[in-house]
Amino acid sequence: MLRIDVVTIFPELFEPFRAVGVLGGAIERGLLSLAAHDLRRWTRDRHRTVDDIPYGGGPGMVMKPEPLVEAAEELAGPKHPLRVARVLLLAPQGARFHQAKAAALARESHLVLLCGRYEGVDQRASELAADEELSIGDYVVSGGEAPAMVVIEAVSRLLPGVLGNPESSAAESFQQGALEAPHYTRPAEFRGCAVPEVLRSGDHGRIRAWRATQSKVRTQRRRPDLQAAPCQTGEQ
Ligand code: SAM
Is the bond into 187 cis (omega within 30 degrees of 0)?
yes
137 lines ligand 1 (CB under 6 A): yes
Residue-wise pLDDT tens digits, 101-121: 999 999 999 999 999 999 999
177 lines ligand 1 (CB under 6 A): no
Q: What is the pLDDT of residue 235?
A: 39
Region 27-40: mean pLDDT is 98
In angstroms, the Cα distances linking 71 to 10, 117, 155 are 15, 16, 22
Residue-wise pLDDT tens digits, 154-195: 999 999 999 988 777 777 889 889 999 999 999 999 999 999
207: Cβ contacts below 8 Å, ≥ 6 apart: 198, 199, 201
Give the residue with greater pLDDT, 166 vs 27.
27
Q: Which of 90, 113, 150 to mutate to test the pocket of ligand 1 (most atoms within 8 A of CB)?
A: 90
DSSP state letter for 179: P
214 lines ligand 1 (CB under 6 A): no
